[in-house]
Structure 1
Amino acid sequence: MAEINNDAAEEGDGQLLSTLPKKEGMWKPFFLYRGCWLTPRTVTSITLLQSQFAPRPDDVVLATFPKCGTTWLKALAFAVANRSRHPAGSGAHPLLTTHPQDLVPSLEVPHRDVHPVAGLDKLPSPRLLSTHMPPSLLPPGISALGCRVVYLCREPKDVFVSSWHYMNRVSADFSPDMDATFELFCEGFSLYGPLWDHVRGYWEQSVAEPDRVLFLKYDDMMADAGVSDRIGGLPMENSSYFRAGKVGDWKTHLTEEMAKKLDCIVEEKLRGSGLTF
């Protein structure tokens, strides 16, 4: 592979960003890239992926909108994919000592301007990868080669509350007001948003290609208390790295008016798709 000229890449990225819609209101300005709100560095990372990533037919991509059970899905998928090498209940199971985020690498994170895409080429097949990208931003070839995709969605009100808590924890210089952030979320303004476009994109792919795209609901899977045991058995309960998101936590944070407003927006945005929450 030809050596990447970082200076030229940065100049090209700057030119691209200057052409994109920009909006303030989060911990840094977000840019609307092909219908998706992203941080500047995420735009750069995704454009590098689109031009440099080489999919393989046996790749499996775990896709989620942020704060929709990504860590849990990675742990579950890793345990299932590696159950012959690492049996459930094994005292040496990787999930007991290694964070699921490290066991299942992300396509666009860490940012590919610093961590070259070529690093993904060194992973042995079959690769288990993850992403927050909507289907419209996935690197070319993933669909054409028949790469399998597992998508996990979550009740939108819980997504908002979880996202708000997360921003409060990780952004030292950004203290989001819940009411203001909620209004932005309802406008579709959130990282990798709008949420409804993200969910609908993968839902429609799952309907069109059910053998390639598996669409799952976090709430349904968490309600099925024995799901983990039945499909491989996960040692996550003993892992200090695993934190399960609470289903219905929005009830302690959102007013009835806020809940109805978001419900109506999501219902309208998903109308005709056959998908409901």
Structure 2
Amino acid sequence: MEGEERRIDEKTQEKYAHLISILPKKKSWGRYLHMYHGFWYSSFVLNGIMSVQDNFKADPSDVLIASSPKSGTTWLKALVFALLNRNAVDQTSKQVMHSLNPHEYVPFLEVQLYAHSRLPDLDSLPPPRLLATHIPYSALPESTRGDPSCRIVYISLDIKDVFVSFWHFLNDGRHDSHEPFLLEEAFESYSDGVSPYGPIWDHQSEYWKASIERPQSVIFLKYEDMMEDPVNGVKRLAKFLGCPFSVEEEEGGVVDEIVKVCSFEYLKNLEVNKEGEIQFGKMKFMKWAFFHRGVVGDSKRYLTPEMIERLNMLSVRMTCSSGSSP
């Protein structure tokens, strides 16, 4: 069958289940995570990743937003969507941002589009297709890493802030009853690299290397730099995406308006992001949970000096392994 009626056959689903069952596993963040090619995943995420690897075919016009979880993904989705749709939307996408949550505009491949036995009909989407993923660079389908390939926009955040943001997100935003994750226990797993899509330092390092080797296809953005100078960050992003701002747009305040309507505080206060939930695979999260604080350096409020030093050492390890500093 074609399009949305196409399904993964039973033998393929059995193959995925068998592969997952024989992988090394550890319990972390309230569930078992499985080691697959150097990274840790829950079983339903890994099932989606395998389906993406087998079925997704990137188009050269695709734009893929990539990140590790809780690294500024929601903000980046809003920015990229506004940039690519600013001419069609006009008034700098203000009305569009009021309609849907950024994760509804830009779905994740492995936990939304390919999370079920029914395969998505991506061929029906007009170019450029705007998609997202937390999949490590080395595990992406070859069609996203070939030449020519789609553009990949990666955003990173200090691994200390990522941990605290992720801890808050899973404790506050999950739409199910569960015991709170204790900070100290979660920290031990995280700093050992045993966390969803972890180790995060390897995740960031892979995309950093790709951005150095293939700068025409991969851009590596730092959340901290984007927050410090969002106007120039957005202009750099627009140029990379092949839709630079015209002089008239800059003089007319289009860049400033996009920065404003996609800002953390603006999105957080929209009614569309205050109510409802979003399904990621087998889990549901409240929309408001994607807008906790968004503050650089928030980890200092929660981590001990010893915890900070431990993660700083892991950041040094990432720098050494990549040969340069992201």
- TM-score greater than 0.5 by the shorter chain: yes
Q: Give yes or no for the alignment of 1:265 onto 2:314.
A: yes
- DSSP 3-state at the match of 1:71: helix
Could you say what secondary structure the match of 2:122 adopts?
A: helix
- C-alpha change, 1:198 and 1:231, in structure 2 (3 Å) is farther
Q: Is the 8 A contact 2:31 2:42 kept in 1?
A: yes
Q: In the aligned structure 1, how far is the partner of 2:87 from the partner of 2:177?
A: 43
Corresponding position of 1:9? 12
- Among candidates 53, 58, 63, match of residue 56 of structure 2: 53
Aligned residue pair count: 276
Q: Aligned with 2:46: secondary structure?
A: helix
Residues 142-164 of structure 1 show CA distances to partners (whole Å, capped at 9, x for unaligned) of 11132110000001100000011
Aligned to 2:43: 40
Which residues in structure 2 correspond to 1:4-153 (within 5 Å)? Answer: 4-89=7-92, 93-110=95-112, 112-114=114-116, 116-144=118-146, 145-153=148-156
Q: Which stretches in structure 2 are left out of the alignment for 5+ residues?
A: 235-253, 274-289
Q: Distance in 1 between matches of 2:159 and 2:75?
A: 17
Change (3 A) 1:124 1:269: same
Map of 1:177 onto structure 2: 182
- CA–CA distance in structure 2, aligned partners of residues 35 and 273 of structure 1: 16
Q: Deviations over 1:199-220 (max 9, x none)?
A: 0000000000111101000011
Question: Which of 288, 295, 310 matches 1:246?
Answer: 295
Superposition deviation, residue 249 in structure 1:
0.5
Report the CA distance between 1:226 and its aligned residue: 4.0
* Structure 1 portions without partners, runs of 5+: none
| Residue of structure 2 in register with 1:194 after alignment | 199
> Residue type matched to 1:56 in 2?
D
Partner in structure 1 of residue 167 of structure 2: 164
**In the TM superposition, what whole-angstrom CA distance separates every residue of 1:254-277 from its partner, at most 9, and x where no partner exists?**
011110111012212321525447
Question: Which residue does the alignment assign to 1:221?
Answer: 226
Per the TM alignment, residue 87 of structure 1 is displaced from its structure 2 partner at its CA by: 2.3
Instruction: Give the match's secondary structure for 2:322.
Output: coil
Distance 1:84 1:51 in 2: 35
Q: Which residue of 1 aligns with 2:279?
A: none
Shift, 1:88, TM fit: 3.8
Secondary structure in 1 matching 2:153: strand
Kept in 2, the 8 Å contact 1:80–1:232? The answer is no
In the alignment, is the contact (CA less than 8 A) between 2:77 and 2:106 conserved in 1? Answer: yes
Change (3 A) 1:90 1:161: closer
Structure 1 stretch 170-179 or stretch 53-62: which is displaced more?
170-179
Aligned partners of 2:200, 2:93: CA distance in 1, in Å? 38
Supply the distance in 2 between the matched residues of 1:122 and 1:105 (Cα, whole angstroms).
Answer: 15
Secondary structure of the structure 2 residue equivalent to 1:271 = helix
- CA contact 1:49–1:117 (8 Å) conserved in 2: no
* Cα distance, 1:128 vs structure 2: 0.9
Q: Is 1:207 equivalent to 2:178 in the alignment?
A: no
What is the CA–CA distance in structure 2 between the aligned matches of 1:54 and 1:225, rounded to whole Å? Answer: 32
Cα 1:29–1:90 shift into 2, 3 Å: closer
Change (3 A) 1:126 1:177: same
Check 1:96–1:42 CA distance in 2 against 1; reply closer, same or farther (3 A cut).
Answer: same
- Tell me, what secondary structure is at the counterpart of 2:66? strand
Residue 19 of structure 1 and its aligned partner are, at CA, apart by 2.0
- Aligned partners of 2:255 and 2:93: how far apart in 1? 16
Say whether the 8 Å CA contact 2:156–2:221 is kept in structure 1. Answer: yes
Q: Greater CA deviation, 243-252 or 73-82?
A: 243-252
Letter in 2 for 1:183: E
> Per the alignment, do residues 114 and 264 of structure 1 end up closer, same or farther by CA in structure 2, a change over 3 Å counting?
same
Cα distance in 2 for residues equivalent to 1:211 and 1:35: 27
Q: Is the 8 A contact 2:66 2:154 kept in 1?
A: yes
Root-mean-square deviation (Å):
2.1
Give runs of ≥4 in structure 1 deviating > 6 Å.
none
SS of 2:74 mapped into structure 1: helix
Equivalent position amino acid for 1:239 in 2: L
Within 1, Cα distance between the matches of 2:113 and 2:151?
A: 23
Q: Look up the equivalent residue of 1:148 and give its one-letter code.
A: R
- Give the aligned partner of residue 233 of structure 1: 258
Contact 1:54 1:121 in 2 (8 A): no
Q: Report deviation, 1:121.
A: 2.7
**1-structure distance, mates of 2:27, 2:257:** 44
Percent of pairs with identical residues: 37
